Amino acid sequence: MNAWPYPKLVAHRGGGSIAPENTLAAIRVGQALGFRAAELDVKLARDGVAFLLHDSTLDRTTSGRGPAGERTWAELAMLDAGGWLSDAFRGEPIPTFDDAARVLRERGTSANVEIKPVPGTDRETGRRVAERAAALWEGAAVAPLLSSFSFEALAAARDAVPALPRGYIVGAPSDADFARMEEVGAVSLHCARQHATRELIARAHAAGLRVLVWTVNDPPEAERLLAAGADGIITDNLRQFASRFPELL
């Protein structure tokens, strides 16, 4: 396998559990703790602007309500994406993908960009996010790693910008999933921690794939997975992991 340019520890949704996920504040918290890689979720507003949000709806992590993809960016930009976590982050806005990329690149932080389409927009989202990522990271020493649960989104990303690396996200990988990864030209498998066995990791490595495991918050479990050959650990437990595994940041 080719050399893997990404750190082994990845901050889940930018700031793990200690900052409002998928915000610039979250990215900066992760950076301040020494994380050199961040995982982020990117989807499209109704008018095509790429922005950071995990859920299909606004209710859980913003002051808005209803489907996120039905709002224009101007409407989304007015929402509070921090107050749900604590008063300290009240008023933190939803960031555009462009703004997130700027903050990441300012500190040389690698990006795992999860393409997270709103329902019915898989191919459009895959294409637009890949094209925007290519522009935002033009000339970067390390390209962003695009990942998704959506095979259609990854296929569209491959067709739009084949040079950007791609990872396929699955809970428990099946034979069909390995075939899909080969078809889409994936370089990495991103699997749920409870299914990341030594045997699965060895199978992925034999197929030329790196393995990233989500979401691992227990240090002994992280040690087990790393000993089994995992290439990356995505975590919400930023403070403890940064203290326990500084050499992996």
What are the pLDDT digits (tens) for 64-112?
A: 999 999 999 999 999 999 999 999 999 999 999 999 999 999 999 999 9
Residue 2's pLDDT is: 83
Closest CA to 123 of 167, 153, 154: 153
Q: What is the pLDDT of residues 175-192, one digit of tens each?
A: 999 999 999 999 999 999
Question: Taking 90 as the threshold, does the pLDDT of residue 205 lie above it?
Answer: yes
Contact 167, 112 (CB under 8 A): yes
The pair of three-digit structure tokens given for residue 14, joined into one six-digit string: 């930018």
Q: From the candidates 54, 190, 195, 205, which is the catalytic residue?
A: 54
Architecture per CATH, domain 9-248, reads as Alpha-Beta Barrel (3.20)
Asked if 246 and 21 count as a contact pair (C-beta separation under 8 A), the reply is no
* Mean per-residue pLDDT, 49-69: 98
User: Given this model, what pLDDT does residue 1 score?
Assistant: 83
What is the enclosing helix (H) or strand (E) of 220? helix 219-227
Q: What is the pLDDT of residue 60?
A: 98
- Looking at every residue in the chain, the average pLDDT score rounds to 98
DSSP notation for 7-53: -SEEETTTTTTSS-TTSHHHHHHHHHTT--EEEEEEEE-TTS-EEE-
Q: What is the pTM of this model?
A: 0.97
195 is catalytic: no
Structural domain spans, the chain: 9-248
Tell me: pLDDT of 217 over 90. yes
pLDDT in tens, 228-240: 999 999 999 999 9
Distance CA 30, CA 36 (A): 8
